[in-house]
């Protein structure tokens, strides 16, 4: 006999097919590798900008150097370093998990 109770939300859903576990593991691994690569790239570029500005402000001004008054002395470099650190932590978090 069928019950007269209304269907719950979880009963009405159709299960989506899941990708195979190997494909899912490879996808998350590649995502972590790319995020790690771009975190290192952001850290190197941000650090390079800071070194460039400090060299031109402290040691000697090169003819290519022009200070941008609207964005500050270091410009976007501190933001790039913070984003690079954040992405690096996220990429390393993938490798610290025990269940993958």
Question: Would you kindly state where each structural domain of the chain is located, as residue ranges?
Answer: 33-100
Gap between the Cα atoms of 83 and 96, Å rounded: 20
Backbone phi, psi, residue 31, to 5°: -60, -40
3-state SS class at 93 = helix
Measured CA distances, 91 to 35, 41, 57, 73, 95 (Å) = 6, 13, 35, 30, 7
pTM higher than the cut 0.85: no
DSSP 5-38: SPPPHHHHPPPPPPPPHHHHHHHHHHHHHHHHHH
What tens digit of pLDDT does each residue of 12-56 get? 566 677 666 777 778 888 888 999 999 999 999 999 988 988 888
């Amino acid at each position: 006999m069928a019950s007269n109770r209304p269907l719950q939300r979880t009963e009405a859903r159709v299960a989506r097919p899941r990708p195979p576990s190997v494909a899912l593991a490879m996808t998350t691994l590649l995502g972590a590798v790319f995020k790690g690569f771009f975190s290192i790239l952001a850290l190197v570029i941000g650090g390079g900008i800071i070194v460039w500005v400090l060299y031109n402000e402290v040691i000697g001004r090169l003819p290519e150097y022009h200070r941008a008054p609207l964005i500050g002395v270091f410009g976007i470099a501190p933001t790039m370093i913070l984003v690079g650190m954040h992405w690096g932590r996220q990429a390393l978090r993938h490798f610290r998990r025990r269940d993958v």
